[in-house]
Amino acid sequence: MTNVATTATIPPVRPAAHTAPRFDMYVSIHKALRHFMTDTLHRVGRLDVEDAAETGQVLGQLDSLLTLCIDHVHNENRFVHTAIEARQPGGAGRTEQEHVEHLESIEALRAEGRALADAPATERPLLALRLYRHLALFVAENLQHMHFEETHNNAVLWACYSDAELFALHQQIIASLPLDETLLVARWMIPASTPAERAAMVGGMKAGAPAPVFQQVVDAFRPHLDETAWDRLARAVGVAQQPGLVDFR
């Protein structure tokens, strides 16, 4: 695996960029990706390759993660980078190139996953360790990449667009997602968010989505919130607090 940037390339954290009251279209999806990536890395690292069921489950989660990463790259290229380049030509150049490298890394990781699944038992421990280390490098690269997007790319977006324009762009992205991707993102995003962020997102979904769709979204993330978090969210958005039951009030 290559393409892992050094820490020297990370721009310094600028508090103003993190506290500015501007619309941030990166923050929630990136929290979802950080959650999904680190959980998957953890599961690959502790994998018992002698357990066929666990191996299948973990490699399935890895495949799901990598598919979401591909979709995320394409969505950012199609919507966010296009918006940046329209008003600041060259402004998305670095992250555009990093996306090319991410797609190459994803194909390599998929090949390693397939190799592990198909290997004889004696070879699986070493193949699993190789996959774990290379997935760790991929996660490391993505953590740095997302930080650059949330600082540099956001600074460009905020300089070139109003919040109303950015919100409209974000709504276009959400509307473009197939339902299964929306549910997968909700499963990782809602538990990874603060109580205030959860209330805003889930409240918005309750107000804007058809009831059956909202029920599916809740079902996707509900098992992954503890009782305290669910109780607080249910009170904030006005849904019944019994597990598995959403009552619109």
Query: Given the rule CB under 5 A, which residues bind Fe ion?
Result: 76
Question: For residues 77 and 241, which CB has a smaller minimum distance to Fe ion in the complex?
Answer: 77
Question: For residues 76 and 112, which CB has a smaller minimum distance to Fe ion in the complex?
Answer: 76
Question: Which whole-number Å values give the CA distances from 56 to 43, 65, 139, in the listed order?
Answer: 12, 14, 21
Question: For residues 24 and 76, which CB has a smaller minimum distance to Fe ion in the complex?
Answer: 76
Q: Please, what is the minimum distance in Å from the beta carbon of residue 91 to Fe ion? A: 14
Is-contact 7 140, C-beta < 8 A?
no
If DSSP codes are grouped into helix, strand and coil, which group holds residue 166?
A: helix
List own/partner pairs for 163-172 with CB under 8 A and 24 or more apart.
Answer: 163/22, 163/23, 166/22, 166/23, 166/25, 167/23, 169/25, 169/79, 169/80, 169/83, 170/23, 170/25, 172/79
Q: Please, what is the minimum distance in Å from the beta carbon of residue 68 to Fe ion? A: 12
Question: For residues 142 and 202, which CB has a smaller minimum distance to Fe ion in the complex?
Answer: 142
Q: Please, what is the minimum distance in Å from the beta carbon of residue 77 to Fe ion? A: 8
Q: CA 199 to CA 238: how far, in whole Å?
A: 10
Q: CA 203 to CA 215: how far, in whole Å?
A: 12
Which is nearest to 61 in space by CA: 225, 184, 159?
184
Question: For residues 75 and 198, which CB has a smaller minimum distance to Fe ion in the complex?
Answer: 75
Residue nearest to Fe ion according to CB distances in the complex: 76
Q: Please, what is the minimum distance in Å from the beta carbon of residue 81 to Fe ion? A: 9
Q: Please, what is the minimum distance in Å from the beta carbon of residue 76 to Fe ion? A: 5
Q: Please, what is the minimum distance in Å from the beta carbon of residue 97 to Fe ion? A: 11
Question: For residues 154 and 218, which CB has a smaller minimum distance to Fe ion in the complex?
Answer: 154
